[in-house]
Amino acid sequence: MNQDYLKDIQDIKMIMSERTRFLSLSGMSGILSGTYALIGAYIAFRMVRSADSVAYRDLQSGFLSPIIIKLIILAGIILILSLVTAYYFTLRKAKVRNENIWSPAAFKALKSFGVPLVTGGIFILLLIWRGEILLISPSTLIFYGIALYSASTYTHRDVATLGILEIVLGLLSMPFPGTGLYFWVIGFGVLHIIYGAIMHFKYDRQ
């Protein structure tokens, strides 16, 4: 009887969790997003090496040179690819789980993620407008980490760990101006692949 009672409690807790949290995030999308970031970093390194000006000096001086503009555009393309990939795999996993991708829990997770992310995007645009180029890399990592940590309330708790790591990485990059690309590789590349692999084997294969 006691075992049946405990099992009933666990079942109720699981049902309540699924209703209040969006659990269809895909680990594969994290792996692919990290792969996009590594490919983008390789392209960026090639662009920097063949540029007419020295990107590091442009960054230190806050000069929005052609190579800096190209790097910003490349980062935007990687972001769009990652978002589209995340949406596709999340939609596919939601169908398998018979979960509504636009459930109240999904809306809450999206809102918690979107508000810090949009705020960070506007903040970064203001940095570009003011010529504070050196702060772009740390800001992207910090605001992205805050967005992940905020969204973790309504999805897998593992997302909070990734968010904290991104925030710490962004703060660590502050004393090293001009090296943002290396921190991006770690934050958006390596950490995403590790996180995605953990999520895939922990949740997707159930």
Instruction: Report the distance separating Cα 139 and Cα 169, nearest Å.
Output: 10
pLDDT in tens, 99-112: 667 777 778 888 88
Give the pLDDT confidence score for residue 103 in this predicted structure: 73
- Residue 135 in domain: yes
Q: What is the pTM of this model?
A: 0.78
- Residue 8 in domain: no
Higher-confidence residue of 147 and 110: namely 147
Instruction: Work out how many domains the chain is built from and give that number.
Output: 1
Phi then psi dihedrals of residue 132, to 5 deg: -90, 65
pLDDT in tens, 45-88: 887 776 665 555 665 555 567 777 777 788 889 888 988 888 88
- Residue 160 in domain: yes
- Residue 157 in domain: yes
AA identity, residue 32? L
**Sequence-ordered list of residues with C-beta below 8 angstroms from that of 201, at least 6 positions apart, any chain:** 27
Instruction: Report the distance separating Cα 155 and Cα 25, nearest Å.
Output: 8
- Token pair for residue 176? 């090293």
Give the pLDDT confidence score for residue 61 in this predicted structure: 57
Nearest residue to 151 (alpha-carbon basis) of 161, 160, 162: 160
- Residue 59 in domain: yes
- Residue 151 in domain: yes
Give the pLDDT confidence score for residue 25 in this predicted structure: 73
pLDDT in tens, 7-47: 444 444 444 444 556 656 777 888 998 999 999 888 888 87
Domain residues for the domain of 114 are 23-204
